[in-house]
Amino acid sequence: MGRWKPDARGRLEKAALELYNHQGFDATTVAEIAARAGLTERTFYRHFADKREVLFPGDNPLPDTLAKAAATAPGALAPLEVVNHALIEAAPVFEERADLVRQRQAVIAANPELQERELAKLAALASTLARALRERGLETTTAALAAEIGLAAFKIACERWVTDRDGHTLAQYIQETLDTARHLTARDDVRCTGQEEVA
């Protein structure tokens, strides 16, 4: 049974990410992860169904965090503002574990199968967010598009954050990337500005 050790889950995750990065995800065994963490395989399987679940945990709080933040955002916000609000609310989930998130991104970037799984998880998050936006009364296409743009911005913001040398927070990158999205979709604003000048 082994002695009780504090934060077994955290130590298994740390050991797994180090091994995935050093020797590759495919080449790493659960036995090696457990040994590196100073724990048994049995303890590993008490926390994770398999070695992939270390990267894609079943109890990921992100979908709930996004859905709740979208549901409780102020009523007057434009669709993309609601998405912005939800993503900023979710940012601390990542910022609190910055080193682990960076290591995880590197593992996924090195493995096409894991990339496909990550894209599927992002698509599922977009669906969750789209549902929350529809429940705010947004039309189906508007909700789907706002959610997809939000997750695209989130993905790009994460990539910038994990390679960041300037010490910006993830929340700052999300804000910046969504500001870029606002400028990209601002054709109507430009027309309005022209009319103001005429007036």
Pick the closer one to a second copy by CB: 34 or 146: 146
72 binds a second copy (CB under 8 A): no
Q: Under 8 Å CB-to-CB from 156, ≥6 apart: which residues? A: 177
Give the Cα separation of 136 and 129 in Å (integer). Answer: 11
**Per-residue x/- mask for a second copy, residues 131 to 170, rule CB under 8 A?**
----------xx-xxx-xx--xx-xx---x----------
Shortest CB 7 distance to a second copy, Å: 32
Q: Decide: helix, strand or coil at residue 26.
A: coil
Decide if residue 80 touches a second copy (CB under 8 A): yes
Tell me how far apart the alpha carbons of residues 196 and 172 are, in angstroms, rounded to a whole number: 32
Cβ-based neighbours of 132, under 8 Å, separated by 6 or more: 66, 67, 70, 71, 86
Q: Is 31 or 186 the residue whose CB approaches a second copy more closely? A: 186
Q: Minimal distance in Å, beta carbon 4 to a second copy?
A: 38
- Determine contact, residues 56/43, Cβ cutoff 8 Å: no
Residues 91-120, one symbol each (x = binds a second copy by CB under 8 A, - = not), give: ---------------------x--xxx-xx
Residue of 74, 96, 195, 197 interacting with a second copy (CB under 8 A): 195
Is 87 within 8 Å of 153 (Cβ atoms)? Answer: yes
Cα separation of 188 and 163, whole Å?
34
CA pair distance 124, 139, nearest whole angstrom: 19
Residues at the contact surface with a second copy, assessed by CB under 8 A: 76-81, 112, 115-117, 119-120, 123, 141-142, 144-146, 148-149, 152-153, 155-156, 160, 176-177, 180-189, 192, 195-196, 199
